[in-house]
Structure 1
Amino acid sequence: MDLLAYFGASIDLYCERLDPGFWAEPVNALTNLSFIAAALWVSRALQVRQLDRRDLRWLAWSIGLIGICSFAFHTLGQRWAAWLDSGSILLFLLGFAATWTQRVLGWPWSRAWLGAAIAGAFIGLGTLLLLQIHTTWMRPEVAWYISTWLAIAITAACTPRLAPNGGAMRPWMWGACGMFTLALVLRQLDQSVCPWWPLGTHFGWHLSNGLVTALAMQALMVATPPSAKPVQRALSWPLNWFYTLFVWGMALVLLFEEWGWEYLAAIVAWFGRLPGLRWIEGRIQALPPYASLALFGVPLLTLLPVKLLALYWLGHGHTLLGIGVIISAKVGGTAITARLFMLTRPTLMRLAWFAHWFNRWMAFKDRILASVKASAAWQQWVRAKANIRQLIQRVRQLFKPR
Structure 2
Amino acid sequence: MLASPFKAGRELTLGIIGGGQLAKMLAQAAYRLGLRVAIIEHGADSPAGRMTQLEFPDGWTSPEALNAFVDASDIITLENEFVAPELLQAIAQRRPVYPTPETIARVRDKLVQKQTMAAAGIPVPAFAGVATPEEVLSFARTRGFPLVLKSRTFGYDGYGNATLDTAEELPRAWEMLWQRVQHEGILVEEFVLLQKELAVIVARSRRGELAVYPCVETVQQDHVCRVVYAPAPLPEPLRRQAQELAVACVEAIDGVGVFAVELFLSQDGTILFNEIAPRPHNSGHYTIEACYTSQFENAIRAVCGLPLGSPEMFVPAAVMVNLLGVRSGSGIPDAVTEALRVGKAWIHLYGKRESRPRRKMGHVTAVGATLEEAYRLAQQAADGIMW
The interval holding the TM-score normalised by the smaller chain is under 0.3
Return the structure number with greater strand share: 2
TM-score normalised by structure 1 residue count: 0.21
Q: Specify which structure has the higher proportion of helix.
A: 1
Higher relative contact order (CA 8 A, sep 6+): 1
Q: Which has the larger radius of gyration?
A: 1
